[in-house]
């Protein structure tokens, strides 16, 4: 690895030659690096030609103003042999310093121009939290100023060892090959093994691309890139842009320094890649091996176009190369002028040792003394074929229009330029001194040939020159007019296969030749552009549309098939297949170029949806189970991402009722996903949650009742398999029950989840509130459901032990006196006990003094209505005052809610209910719709009023004291 250091810059990094191997790197197993000097000071070590000694590992630079730099251990020979010649023509010295962060740093790039890797020869790790903030980039495209990386660019330290550390920068957008990109690592961004930040900036010169291998050559985009080829002579290169060498410093003084010398020749591959190098200037009249390349040994130069060269040297001088040995030159050209003394050629001065020159030409003016040729000065052991020269050639002896001397083989080549010399026996229009073999080659014209023209339906006549003419199908001869830009060819000759062209030199008609045009010699028409792909009518197929019967198509390089209409349906394909469409060949014209269409998944007809998938309850609470599926399928929930299926079922899918599960055959790299089968989750498809475990029974507050505790408002309960009743608090009191009754408790169903499994509680006598009756020296326990004791006294004495001072004392006495309600045999009234539906019905009929037997009771739970209440309930049903529930039950022992009481009072008064009225209560939204109008009506009569904060509390329960107070108000209305 070599680094170029430029005078006046603190740090300039790698040019193209940087990307190769390192001369004098660490011995195997040696990894320890000396600490980098903070100031990076250089210390003199030795003069050119001496040996530079030092301790341990050091960075050594060699030069004088311009430098080459490497890392060495113990010492190094201070010479051009080790370092090359970074400062030609001046004495050089070696200087040393401790290895720095940027010492012999290697810069590599990815093929897509998006990733740049900087490899350091010291330990380096991240020193700041946001590594990217310490990295800047300079591009010619943004004004050649350093700027922050883009937001989507990424930076990472991927390796940190004493021998090698790597910083990888990945750009969102590819860097341009000729964009002069430079990366700067700001001071303090990285730190060493001792956590000491590197306190100096490090920046690279222009980032280059490629690795120098034949498959990934270095990319040459600027004059500086081209100059750097000399530092890595065995690598592969290609031009990616035209290059102008008519700029400083390459045109100044002696001009361009030839790449490669006889001691260190170019041995790599250099591909001009269709680009042009202009303005090559060399003024070295006393030097040998002069040209763009001084010496080529076992190297390949191809596709290089040199224009307007001005090359002057002494021995072995050529526009492209001074001397070639064991190499190859092909498809290359020069224009301009080449001057020297001996072995001077427009392309190569001395072509020797089995170096073929193929398909190349020169129009340059060539002058010298001896061995002077328009293409090569001397062809000594090499081969020249399919090449020509058209420039003037002038010398003393061994002067030829194509080659001054030929000691080898020249075939199918020609020259047309003016030739002059002194020793006329060695001066010739084609060869000056012929000691080899020249076949099928001419002075004046070549063996013309065809290639495809630039325009559709045309051919191109190559290797012709001024002074020649041609005719088509025995028509009149047409003079050939060529210039530098036409590359000695006639383009865009309209032709059909089988046409015959006659080509001749006007002054020598007998030297003409006859050529027959073949289909391969005609430029194909441009590719169709309208053809398109869409889904076919059968599964796994595509449809080719917007075509005509003049076209043909093929799949993946197979045979072409004729198209009979405007579309081709049901073409069996996989994603990634390539369909080529072209206009079919005729007898006169070749097939057109092909339009290529790459099949995407969207272009393929999907398979039909599966039909077997089904849902059932999963094994976990709140989940469903997808069954009758296969491992080639995938599923998604509510339009989410698809999940692969690995068996015949998918269990424990967390869902809610109403969720939609889509099932399809999964897409592969070759085929799209099938159409989808959709399954809507119902409550029955979801596994219920486990039963509650906390609910318990306790003695109720009222005689004959039990109390359900440790519950929540999210639960509901049922007695003996009856309908479930919602729970509004943490307990439910005064549940009418007998020993042996079963109370089930569960979490209520929601719109999304089913009700949970039920916890069952069996009522025993200890869970029921019992009434003790005293008298006659003993006691007995009556039926808990017999809450009121009938009295035969029409005007019973009103004297209860538990109403004195009660807020409803007067109302209670009045209601008892009027026969609306009775007390208990133990002398109590129990004013705060909850009223049941049966009790309120009895009190209400007593107020209304209903007559008759009433309606026959047909409730599903009629048997549970006490005899003391059956007649009153029958009369109330007959009068339309009360109704049962939707499940047909009456629930006599259920506490009456305030909403139910309001409806019964409105029915009792036969009020005309007006819908749409406002109750005026703060919790109006909580009042059931079936009760709103009744609540509004009875409130307007003053029968009910709100509780604290003006709440009606529709689900609240009514006490005996509250009930008699309301009923007294009812009677007054």
Domain stop point among 675, 709, 726: 675
Q: What angle do CA 856, 858, 864 make, to 5 degrees?
A: 105
Q: Within this chain, do residues 54 and 125 fall inside the same structural domain, yes or no?
A: yes
Q: What is the pLDDT of residue 505?
A: 60
Q: What is the pLDDT of residue 482?
A: 57
- Output the CA–CA distances (angstroms, integers) from residue 947 to 164, 390, 684, 944, 951, in the order listed: 82, 117, 41, 10, 5
Query: Considering the entire predicted model, what is its pTM?
Result: 0.45
Q: What is the DSSP string of 536-575?
A: -SSTTEEEEES--TTEEEEETT---EE--SSEEEEEE--T
Q: What is the pLDDT of residue 484?
A: 38
Q: What is the pLDDT of residue 142?
A: 65
Domain stop point among 603, 627, 650: 603
Is residue 682 situated within a structural domain? no
User: Residues in the chain, how many?
Assistant: 973
| CA–CA distance, 514 with 447 (Å, rounded to integer) | 10
Q: What is the pLDDT of residue 742?
A: 87
Percent helix / strand / coil, the chain, rounded to 5: 10, 35, 55
Q: How many helices and strands, by DSSP H and E, does the chain display?
A: 8, 77
Q: What is the pLDDT of residue 463?
A: 74
| CA–CA distance, 954 with 900 (Å, rounded to integer) | 8
Q: What is the CATH number of the domain that holds 316?
A: 2.160.20.110
Is residue 784 situated within a structural domain? no
164-191 burial code (b ≥16 CB/10 A, e <16): bbbbbbebeeebbbbbbbbbbbbeebbb
- pLDDT, tens only, 704-761: 899 999 999 999 999 887 789 999 999 999 998 887 788 999 999 999 999 999 999 9
| CA–CA distance, 160 with 123 (Å, rounded to integer) | 6
Q: What angle do CA 905, 906, 908 make, to 5 degrees?
A: 60
Q: Within this chain, do residues 517 and 586 fall inside the same structural domain, yes or no?
A: no
Q: Within this chain, do residues 494 and 578 fall inside the same structural domain, yes or no?
A: no
Task: Tell me if 121 sits within 8 A of 99, measured CB to CB.
Answer: yes
- Residue with the two structure tokens 């291998």: 213
- Residue with the two structure tokens 């269709």: 274
Q: Within this chain, do residues 723 and 622 fall inside the same structural domain, yes or no?
A: no
Burial class (CB in 10 A: 0-12, 13-18, 19+), 713: exposed
| CA–CA distance, 886 with 13 (Å, rounded to integer) | 90
- Residue with the two structure tokens 């190094």: 76
Q: Within this chain, do residues 883 and 916 fall inside the same structural domain, yes or no?
A: yes
Secondary structure letter of residue 521 according to DSSP? G
Q: Within this chain, do residues 256 and 392 fall inside the same structural domain, yes or no?
A: yes
Q: Within this chain, do residues 715 and 667 fall inside the same structural domain, yes or no?
A: no
Q: What is the CATH number of the domain that holds 44?
A: 2.60.40.1220
- Whether omega for the bond prior to residue 307 falls within 30 degrees of 0, making it cis, is no
Is residue 76 situated within a structural domain? yes
| CA–CA distance, 649 with 627 (Å, rounded to integer) | 4
Token couple for 664: 């399809």
Q: Based on the structure, what is the number of domains in the chain?
A: 7
Secondary structure letter of residue 266 according to DSSP? B
> Three-state SS for 462?
strand
| CA–CA distance, 713 with 726 (Å, rounded to integer) | 8
| CA–CA distance, 676 with 613 (Å, rounded to integer) | 11
Inter-residue long-range contacts of 153-161, CB under 8 Å, 24+ positions, other chains counted:
155/131, 156/131, 157/124, 157/125, 157/126, 157/131, 157/190, 160/123, 160/124, 160/125, 161/31, 161/123
Task: Tell me if 608 sits within 8 A of 675, measured CB to CB.
Answer: yes
Is residue 957 situated within a structural domain? yes
Token couple for 43: 């210390």
Give 364's contacts (C-beta < 8 A, 6+ positions apart): 309, 319, 334, 335, 336, 337, 338, 346, 374, 391
For residue 484, report the phi and psi dihedrals to the nearest 5 degrees: -55, -40
Secondary structure letter of residue 603 according to DSSP? G
Is residue 786 situated within a structural domain? no
Task: Tell me if 741 sits within 8 A of 763, measured CB to CB.
Answer: yes
Q: Within this chain, do residues 711 and 730 fall inside the same structural domain, yes or no?
A: yes
Q: Within this chain, do residues 126 and 56 fall inside the same structural domain, yes or no?
A: yes
Q: Within this chain, do residues 639 and 562 fall inside the same structural domain, yes or no?
A: no
The residues pairing with 747 across neighbouring beta strands, listed in sequence order, are: 715
Q: Within this chain, do residues 721 and 807 fall inside the same structural domain, yes or no?
A: no
The domain in which residue 578 lies consists of 532-603
Task: Tell me if 467 sits within 8 A of 482, measured CB to CB.
Answer: no
The residues pairing with 301 across neighbouring beta strands, listed in sequence order, are: 270, 329
Is residue 739 situated within a structural domain? yes
Task: Tell me if 617 sits within 8 A of 686, measured CB to CB.
Answer: yes
Burial class (CB in 10 A: 0-12, 13-18, 19+), 643: middle
Domain stop point among 465, 494, 521: 521
- What secondary structure, in 3-state letters, does 223-240 show? HHHHHHHHHCCCCEEEEC
Q: What is the pLDDT of residue 301?
A: 97
Is residue 527 situated within a structural domain? no
pLDDT < 50 stretches in the chain: 1-38, 446, 483-485, 507-510, 772-794
Q: Within this chain, do residues 899 and 829 fall inside the same structural domain, yes or no?
A: yes
Is residue 224 situated within a structural domain? no
Sign of CA dihedral 409, 413, 414, 420: negative
Task: Tell me if 494 sits within 8 A of 503, measured CB to CB.
Answer: no
């Amino acid at each position: 690895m070599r680094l170029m250091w430029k005078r006046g810059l603190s740090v300039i990094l790698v040019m193209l030659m940087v990307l190769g191997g390192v001369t004098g790197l660490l011995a195997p197993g040696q990894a320890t690096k000396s600490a980098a000097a903070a100031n990076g000071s250089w210390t003199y070590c030795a003069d050119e030609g001496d040996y530079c000694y030092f301790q341990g590992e050091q960075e050594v630079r060699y030069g004088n103003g311009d430098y080459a730099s490497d890392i060495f251990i113990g010492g190094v020979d201070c010479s051009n042999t080790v370092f090359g010649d970074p400062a030609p023509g001046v004495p050089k010295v070696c200087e040393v310093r401790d290895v720095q962060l940027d010492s012999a740093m290697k810069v590599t790039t990815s093929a897509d121009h998006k990733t740049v890797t900087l490899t350091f020869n010291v330990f380096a790790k991240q020193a700041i939290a946001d590594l990217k903030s310490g990295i800047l980039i300079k591009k010619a495209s943004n004004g050649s100023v350093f700027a922050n990386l883009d937001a989507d660019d990424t930076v990472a330290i991927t390796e940190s060892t004493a021998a090698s550390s790597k910083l990888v920068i990945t750009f969102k957008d590819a860097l341009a090959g000729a964009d002069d990109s430079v990366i700067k690592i700001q001071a303090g961004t990285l730190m060493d093994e001792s956590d000491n930040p590197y306190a100096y900036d490090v920046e690279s010169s222009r980032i280059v691309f490629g690795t120098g291998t034949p498959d990934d050559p270095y990319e040459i985009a600027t004059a500086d890139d081209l100059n750097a080829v000399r530092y890595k002579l065995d690598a592969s290169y290609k031009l990616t842009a035209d290059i102008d060498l008519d700029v400083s410093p390459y045109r100044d003084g002696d001009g361009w320094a030839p790449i490669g010398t006889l001691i260190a020749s170019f041995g790599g591959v250099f591909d001009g890649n269709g680009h042009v190098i202009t303005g090559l200037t060399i003024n070295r009249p006393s030097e040998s091996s002069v040209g763009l390349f001084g010496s080529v040994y076992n190297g390949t130069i191809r596709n290089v176009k040199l224009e307007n060269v001005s090359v002057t040297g002494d021995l072995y001088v050529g526009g492209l190369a001074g001397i070639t040995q064991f190499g190859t030159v092909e498809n290359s050209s020069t224009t301009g002028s080449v001057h020297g003394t001996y072995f001077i050629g427009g392309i190569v001065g001395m072509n020797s040792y089995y170096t073929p020159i193929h398909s190349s030409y020169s129009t340059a003016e060539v002058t010298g003394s001896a061995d002077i040729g328009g293409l090569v000065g001397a062809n000594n052991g090499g081969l020249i074929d399919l090449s020509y020269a058209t420039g003037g050639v002038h010398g003393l002896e061994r002067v030829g229009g194509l080659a001054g001397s030929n000691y080898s083989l020249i075939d199918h080549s020609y020259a047309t330029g003016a030739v002059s010399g002194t020793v006329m026996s060695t001066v010739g229009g084609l060869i000056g001194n012929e000691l080899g073999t020249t076949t099928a080659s001419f002075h004046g014209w070549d063996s013309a040939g065809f290639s495809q023209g630039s325009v559709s339906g045309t051919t191109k006549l190559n290797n012709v020159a001024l002074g020649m003419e041609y005719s088509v199908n025995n028509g009149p001869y047409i003079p050939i007019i060529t210039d530098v830009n036409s590359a000695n060819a006639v383009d865009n000759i309209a032709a059909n296969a089988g046409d015959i062209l006659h080509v001749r030199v006007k002054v020598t008609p007998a030297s003409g030749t006859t050529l027959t045009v073949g289909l391969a010699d005609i430029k194909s028409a441009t590719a169709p552009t309208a053809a398109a792909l869409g889904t076919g009518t059968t599964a796994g197929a595509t449809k080719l549309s917007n075509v005509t019967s003049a076209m043909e198509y093929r799949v993946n390089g197979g045979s072409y098939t004729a198209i009979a209409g405007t579309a081709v349906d049901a073409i069996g394909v996989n994603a990634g297949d390539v369909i080529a469409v072209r206009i079919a060949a005729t007898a006169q014209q070749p097939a057109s170029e092909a339009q290529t269409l790459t099949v995407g998944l969207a272009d393929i007809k999907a398979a039909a949806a599966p039909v077997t998938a089904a849902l059932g309850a999963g094994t976990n609470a709140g989940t469903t189970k997808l069954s009758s599926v296969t491992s080639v399928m995938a599923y998604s929930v509510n339009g989410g991402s698809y999940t692969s299926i690995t068996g015949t079922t998918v269990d424990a899918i967390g869902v809610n009722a109403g969720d939609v599960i889509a099932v399809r055959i999964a897409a592969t790299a070759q085929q799209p996903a099938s159409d989808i089968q959709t399954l809507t989750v119902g409550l029955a498809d979801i596994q219920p949650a486990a039963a509650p475990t906390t609910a318990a029974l306790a003695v109720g507050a009222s005689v004959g009742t039990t109390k359900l505790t440790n519950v929540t408002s999210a639960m509901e309960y049922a007695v003996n398999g009856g309908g479930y009743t919602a729970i509004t608090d943490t307990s439910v009191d005064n549940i009418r029950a007998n020993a042996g009754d079963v109370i089930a408790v569960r979490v209520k169903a929601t719109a999304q989840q089913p009700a949970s499994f039920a916890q069952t509680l069996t009522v025993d006598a200890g869970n029921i509130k019992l009434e003790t009756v005293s008298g006659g020296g003993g006691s007995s326990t009556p039926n808990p459901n017999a809450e009121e004791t009938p009295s035969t006294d029409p005007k019973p004495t009103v004297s209860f032990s538990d109403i004195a001072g009660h807020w409803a004392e007067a109302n209670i006495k009045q209601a008892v006196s009027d026969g609306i309600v009775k007390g208990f045999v133990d002398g109590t009234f129990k004013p705060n006990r909850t009223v049941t539906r049966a009790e309120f019905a009895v009190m209400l009929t007593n107020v209304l003094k209903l007559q008759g037997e009433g309606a026959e009771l047909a409730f599903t739970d009629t048997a549970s209505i006490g005899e003391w209440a059956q007649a009153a309930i029958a009369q109330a049903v007959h009068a339309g005052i009360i109704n049962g529930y939707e499940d047909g039950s009456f629930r006599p022992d259920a506490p009456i809610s305030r909403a139910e009481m309001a409806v019964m009072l409105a029915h009792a008064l036969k009020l005309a209910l007006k819908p749409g009225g406002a109750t005026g209560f703060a919790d109006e939204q909580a009042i059931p719709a079936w009760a709103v109008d009744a609540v509004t009506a009875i409130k307007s009569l003053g029968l009910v009023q709100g509780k604290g904060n003006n709440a009606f509390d529709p689900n609240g329960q009514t006490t005996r004291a509250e009930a008699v107070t309301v009923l007294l108000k009812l009677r007054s209305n």
